[in-house]
Amino acid sequence: MKERINRSVLLTVLALLLAAPWLLPAVGFDYWLDILAEILIWSLFAASVNLLFGYVGLLSFGQALFFGMGMFGVAIGVAKLGLGFWPALGLGMVVAVATAAVAGALAVRLTWHYFAIITVVFSLIFYFIALSAKPLTGGDDGTSFSMPPMLTLGESELSLTDQTVQYLFILLVVGFAFFVKYLIVRSPFGMALMAVRENDVRASLIGLNVYFLRWIAFVVAGGFAGLAGCLFALFGRYASATYMFYHVSGEGVVWTIVGGAGTLFGPAIGAALLIVVREELSNMWEHYPILVGIVVILTVIFAPKGLMGMWNALLDRLASPSADGTKKDEGPREAIETAVAPVKGEAGP
């Protein structure tokens, strides 16, 4: 029953997202289409944090680095190199993935707090490089560019300057990325990642190359963050080093934890919720991050599996209204989907 309900919720949300460019103006909320696009992009960014933290057990505070690399790849590609839409997008991805491959080779030698610290350090190093490389990145001012067309057919051209086209393009790319993440999670590779998360010593003893698996996951996660950065650059026609700062990485971690680490859509839900809170509250109350802090603390204490974990637990309870003890033997089939193992501390002896 749980799978059925979750599937119908997912399909409904997907249908609403697809219809949003026509639905929102109809109810007089035109302005929300851009916020929705932004939420989609940041969901993808949170998915990057989640792939590392939720599935491999590596808490990264450096994902903003790859986000920023994607942004600058696109912006510099268009503004400085005169690239078209697709080549610029490609450049952003290549730059982000290459950075992740190099940084990852060093970072995944470490785990836990050491790993978290080195990801912050990497992100700071590149932040200051981006700030000081003024001729290339624009320094404090960043790099802005004008949108090249996505597709030109004779007279007519398709471009993200059309708000609806832009939104649907972002939805399509983010949806595709989440589909790839879904494939990864249910594959043998995804299971190997979870084994590494659960117990890296045991994983190496059954013949898994723990270092290599962590590195691949780091590169894929860097690709997700980079793709989000590319989209955000296209969305804002702009790249800035501020998005490389570890503060941005921290937001991704917060969204992931609140939504539910180690679940497919938890981070997207966390991102959506907290961005809406920001949009609604930041104008009224400048200290609204206090509220976000309280939400995070409450989540960690009362719902360590995040909102998605709470939702799944609720569905489990509805599915078996009898006392809790009776359904023990069936065992939760979704144990992996909902588990947040990294919280339990160092694995293995």
Please, which residue, 208 or 315, has the CB nearer to other proteins? 208
The CB-of-303 to other proteins minimum distance in angstroms stands at 16
The CB-of-216 to other proteins minimum distance in angstroms stands at 8
Q: Where does 30-107 have alpha helices with state H? A: 32-50, 63-79, 85-107
Please, which residue, 12 or 209, has the CB nearer to other proteins? 209
- Are 173 and 231 in contact by the 8 Å Cβ rule? The answer is yes
- Are 226 and 95 in contact by the 8 Å Cβ rule? The answer is yes
Cα–Cα–Cα angle for 77, 78, 81, rounded to 5 degrees: 55
The CB-of-7 to other proteins minimum distance in angstroms stands at 16
The CB-of-224 to other proteins minimum distance in angstroms stands at 13
The CB-of-205 to other proteins minimum distance in angstroms stands at 6
- Are 191 and 197 in contact by the 8 Å Cβ rule? The answer is no
The CB-of-17 to other proteins minimum distance in angstroms stands at 24
- 139, HSE (Cβ side, Cα atoms, 13 Å): 5
Please, which residue, 154 or 207, has the CB nearer to other proteins? 207
Positive or negative torsion for Cα 146, 152, 156, 158: negative
Nearest to 307 by CA among 295, 292, 316: 295
Query: If you search the block for the tokens 């809170």, which residue do you land on?
Result: 277
Distance between CA 330 and CA 310 in Å, rounded? 20
Please, which residue, 26 or 335, has the CB nearer to other proteins? 335
The CB-of-276 to other proteins minimum distance in angstroms stands at 31
The length of the chain in residues reads: 349
Please, which residue, 105 or 129, has the CB nearer to other proteins? 105
The CB-of-348 to other proteins minimum distance in angstroms stands at 6
Q: What are phi and psi of 154, to 5 degrees?
A: 60, -120
Nearest to 334 by CA among 9, 314, 345, 324: 314
Strands (E), 89-232: 143-144, 151-153, 156-158
Please, which residue, 169 or 224, has the CB nearer to other proteins? 224
- Are 93 and 226 in contact by the 8 Å Cβ rule? The answer is yes
Please, which residue, 31 or 182, has the CB nearer to other proteins? 182
Strands (E), the chain: 143-144, 151-153, 156-158, 238-239
The CB-of-185 to other proteins minimum distance in angstroms stands at 10
Q: How far is CA 256 from the centre of its chain?
A: 8
Please, which residue, 155 or 330, has the CB nearer to other proteins? 330
Please, which residue, 132 or 320, has the CB nearer to other proteins? 320
Please, which residue, 52 or 76, has the CB nearer to other proteins? 52
Helix H or strand E encompassing 59: none
The CB-of-243 to other proteins minimum distance in angstroms stands at 28
Distance between CA 1 and CA 341 in Å, rounded? 25
Distance in Å from the first CA to the final CA of the chain: 39
Binding site for other proteins (CB under 8 A): 180, 183-184, 186-192, 194-195, 198-199, 201-210, 213, 328-333, 335-336, 339, 341, 344, 347-349
